[in-house]
Amino acid sequence: MASGCTVPASGLVSDPLSRLPVELLLHITDYLKTTDFFAVRLCSRTLERTLRHFFLHEFFRCKYFMLTDFSLQGLLAMARHPVISKTIQTVSVSFEDFSVETCNKQATPEQAMQFLAASAQQNSFLTTGRAVQLLAAAFSLLSNLKTVEFRDWDAVMNYREGSYFEHRRSYGYHRAVKQMGDSVHYRLSSSSSDPDFESRAFPVVMAALAQSTARPPNLEVLIRSLSKGLKYTAFDLTSMLHCGVGGDSAEISTDMNGLAVLAGLRTLHLCLQFAFHSNLSRTLGLRILPFTRPFPKASVTFMPIHAWLAHCPNVEWLVLRFQSLLCEHNDVFLDALGSPLPASYPFPPGSPASPDITMPFASHLRRLDLRKLICRWEVLYALLRRLPALEHLSLQDFSLARPQTDTQTPRSIWSLMFVLLSVGIQRTELKRLTLERLGVATTCYPQPGVLELYEVLINGGYSIDLMAELDRPIRQMLKLVCIETELVGDSDDEDVNYSDLDVDEDEGEDEGEDEGGNDAGEDDEEEVDEET
């Protein structure tokens, strides 16, 4: 034995790295690539024990999976591991589908054959109940599951690989690419893929949650593509009312245990996609593009979503992202949140929800985020008046509608909105107001497909974050905000300070945020297989 080595009491030869302080060791390994970091852990048992917590936290606390048999088999293997199963807190399901439209024309016949086979396998995987079985079994074994997430885009940059273009992919992604070749356009957020895939995949995962023993408090749907989003078909309540774990029974439950998943939600993020309906003109009296085929009224189309929300009484943070920029749809949807469902609506037998309350969480909702939508200021103000416990309001990519016949200037619309907010806040607990990329838009099209849009500058910038102080409530801060508007591509409007507007506050009172990791490549998947 070399004279410079010492033998500890355990009988193992110590190494210099294991004698370093944990903070210094973490600082060194933070700069290593994924494969090198794995190699360091295998140098000695002492290093493995020292780095175990940080390894599990980085690579297993949040994991991304595709709705394929191989990917979900990996999830089930991790869920069966005694240590990894306790580490996973977030399961992210990616909306990656093998749509025929995403297959590159330059793919070889062999690659195209592999792609079409994968497309058929994924379709049967979802429709036969196999996906529900695997997900339900895995969810039941994840004792610390807190968040189930859906997304159509890659995770944050894999900084260990040292390249901005090296993203963290879903488990099984690199295996699929290796089989089909790089010439196959199999990537996230593809606008040419199946536009209904999200609405088919969402109820599959919700049915698996209902059939499992997991009750995560957070449900997040993150969709960036404006051509995609959850349609009303994604909010079928009966898919969550099947007995048995893993699809052992196909009978409808009478004790509503499946709906306990919705009752346990505290955070809810949804991306909604509304279809266009021609007879909105009869609903709102607005001029819209003509269609020859008859469609049901928009308010009827939204009812499944409202009925689904009626079973979420404990939500404290609600995020609604509207993938449609049609003001008519958004107005109808937000208006109906405060309206009762018709008595004829087919609620599941024994449902605990009340058809008279489409937003049972309104009395205790703490935070509301509205993103990517256009609506009338009356609709927004009426919605905020229904939320007395609101503490944080966030508006992002949000535009107020101005009909072409309206004589108000674009800047005066937001000025009026701020005045009403300053008056209405006195009835709420609002402590924070976040505004990003606001605008004013016309509600009728001068030409088909053309929308006149004004940008709103708040104190000279495109965003503002107001937080209440002990001696300065937000309603006083709003009176000091300077608003400017300019037509996109033009700038003719003058500054306006809406505090100059004369509003009787007393009269108003009488009226009433990826962390964690996924596998960084095929090497990671092999390493995970060894670990599990």
66 in the same domain as 50: no
Burial class (CB in 10 A: 0-12, 13-18, 19+), 22: exposed
Query: Residue 5: its pLDDT value, please?
Result: 43
Residue positions counted in the chain:
532
Query: Residue 502: its pLDDT value, please?
Result: 38
Overall average pLDDT of the 270-284 stretch: 57
Q: How many domains does the chain have?
A: 2
174 in the same domain as 42: no
197 in the same domain as 78: yes
Alpha carbon 91 to chain centroid distance? Answer: 13
198 in the same domain as 264: yes
Q: Which of 187-196, 197-206, 481-490, 497-506 is predicted least confidently?
A: 497-506
- pLDDT digits over 383-397, tens only? 988 898 999 999 999
Query: Residue 491: its pLDDT value, please?
Result: 37
Higher pLDDT, residue 294 or 235: 235
Query: Residue 492: its pLDDT value, please?
Result: 40
Contact assessment for residue 17 and residue 47, using Cβ atoms and an 8 Å cutoff? yes
Residue 202 lies in a domain: yes
Residue 487 structure tokens: 């037509």
Higher pLDDT, residue 63 or 494: 63
Query: Residue 186: its pLDDT value, please?
Result: 52
Local confidence band at 21 (pLDDT 50, 70, 90 cut-offs): confident
Contacts with 165 (C-beta within 8 Å, 6 or more apart), sequence order: none
Higher pLDDT, residue 522 or 24: 24
Domain that holds residue 176: 62-234+259-273
- pLDDT digits over 313-344, tens only? 999 999 999 876 666 678 888 888 888 888 88
Query: Residue 296: its pLDDT value, please?
Result: 53
Return the number of other C-beta atoms located less than 10 Å from residue 347's C-beta: 17
Helix (H, G, I), strand (E, B) or coil at 363: coil
CA–CA dist 486, 494 (Å, integer): 9
DSSP-derived secondary structure letter, 4: T
User: Measuring CA to CA, how many Å separate 308 from each of 191, 226, 313?
Assistant: 27, 23, 10
Higher pLDDT, residue 276 or 302: 302
83 in the same domain as 128: yes
Return the number of other C-beta atoms located less than 10 Å from residue 134's C-beta: 24
Query: Residue 362: its pLDDT value, please?
Result: 92
206 in the same domain as 149: yes
Local confidence band at 447 (pLDDT 50, 70, 90 cut-offs): very low
Residue 500 lies in a domain: no
DSSP-derived secondary structure letter, 295: -
Higher pLDDT, residue 301 or 355: 355
Local confidence band at 256 (pLDDT 50, 70, 90 cut-offs): low
Residue 315 lies in a domain: no
41 in the same domain as 125: no
Residue 116 structure tokens: 């079409």
Residue 456 lies in a domain: no
Residue 101 lies in a domain: yes
Residue 416's H or E segment, with its range, is helix 410-424
77 in the same domain as 53: no
Residue 436 lies in a domain: no
Residue 1 lies in a domain: no
CA–CA dist 427, 388 (Å, integer): 6
Overall average pLDDT of the 229-237 stretch: 90
Q: Among 73, 110, 107, 70, which Cα is nearest to 186's?
A: 107
Query: Residue 143: its pLDDT value, please?
Result: 93
Contact assessment for residue 304 and residue 355, using Cβ atoms and an 8 Å cutoff? no
DSSP for 301-346, written as a single string: HTHHHHHHHTT-TT--EEEEEES---HHHHHHHHHHTTSPPPTTS-
Overall average pLDDT of the 92-97 stretch: 88
Overall average pLDDT of the 365-382 stretch: 91
172 in the same domain as 191: yes
Task: Compute and round to an integer the Cα radius of gyration of the chain.
Answer: 27
Query: Residue 287: its pLDDT value, please?
Result: 35
Query: Residue 53: its pLDDT value, please?
Result: 87
Query: Residue 185: its pLDDT value, please?
Result: 52
- pLDDT digits over 126-169, tens only? 999 999 999 999 999 999 999 999 988 766 556 676 655 556 77
Overall average pLDDT of the 6-30 stretch: 69
CA–CA dist 130, 124 (Å, integer): 8
Contact assessment for residue 367 and residue 392, using Cβ atoms and an 8 Å cutoff? yes
Q: Among 517, 530, 531, 523, which Cα is nearest to 60's?
A: 517
CA torsion 165→171→175→181, rounded to 10°? -40
49 in the same domain as 114: no
CA–CA dist 223, 189 (Å, integer): 8
CA–CA dist 136, 133 (Å, integer): 5
Residue 97 lies in a domain: yes
Q: Which amino acid is at 34?
A: T
Q: Output the average pLDDT for the chain.
A: 76
Query: Residue 325: its pLDDT value, please?
Result: 64
Query: Residue 157: its pLDDT value, please?
Result: 56
- Which ranges constitute the DSSP H helices of 17-141? 22-29, 34-41, 45-60, 69-80, 84-87, 109-127, 130-141
208 in the same domain as 139: yes
* Last residue within a domain, chosen from 249, 273, 297: 273
Q: Which of 201-210, 347-356, 476-485, 487-496 is predicted least confidently?
A: 487-496
138 in the same domain as 160: yes
Local confidence band at 490 (pLDDT 50, 70, 90 cut-offs): very low
